[in-house]
Amino acid sequence: MRGKERERRGIPLRAVVPNAVTALALCSGLTGIRFAIGEEWEKAIAAIVVAAVLDGMDGRIARMLKGASRFGAELDSLSDNIAFGVSPAVIMYLWSLQYWPRGYGWLFSLAYAVCMALRLARFNARIDAEDQPHKSAGFLTGVPAPAGAGLMLLPLYLWLASDRQWTWTHDYRLVAPWAAFVAFLAISSLATFSWTSFRLRRNVRLEAIVAVAMIGGALAVAPLETLSVAAILYVASIPFSVASYARVRRLRAGGAARRSTPPGSAPGEPTA
């Protein structure tokens, strides 16, 4: 009997595994700062990419093992704040923004980190809310944390991809407004595409697999160029996601108006 009680009090392994993956993402993000201090920029980028991959895995592992918990959700948010908020801010400061005289560059790194923390706090505050129009339509609100980190590091990608020849991307006068722009995207209410909401037609399934394989090959052969193109395309997609969500809102409003119209009356006709 005591053995059974002890077994019930123990923590199941399925609850530990996703949290361990989240902790690894946190460690990877912090390791990016360590590499940046040593001016090993390629390794710093790789550490952030690994953190993003692990961040995409932990939630799915938790659902697969039925080990989701409130503790895991809070840990995931803290990990995202450090790996995709603090770490990219410090990396970009050490790479470029520190050269702004009188320390003004730190303000932009600080603004990015604070905006990312505010975004994650907003996400946590709404996690149990039933009324989430963006989520219900298959969109995200603002730029998610991993994507924000990827955008923040875009000038560094371009500099390294050019074999350090594009010195204009290293200029703090470019990096600072870019950091402010990405910070705005993180806390904005713009509707952005969520890749989990995309549905492929059955007749393009093989083509999609080939495209994923090609992207994986590009990441292996030319990672910096691939990351640069991905970041640019993501920014370019934001106006389309905003327009797409506006179209969804119009369709929803039209459907609601039709449902509220009594049978036999014309839309917009006053009713008693």
pLDDT score recorded for residue 59: 81
Question: Token digits for 142?
Answer: 């603002």
pLDDT digits (tens, 9 = 90+) for 240-251: 998 988 888 888
The span from the CA of 232 to the CA of 236, in Å, is 6
pTM: 0.85
R_g of the chain, CA atoms, integer Å? 22
Give the residues of the chain that fall short of pLDDT 50: 1, 131, 267-272
pLDDT digits (tens, 9 = 90+) for 50-70: 999 999 888 888 888 777 778
pLDDT score recorded for residue 123: 84
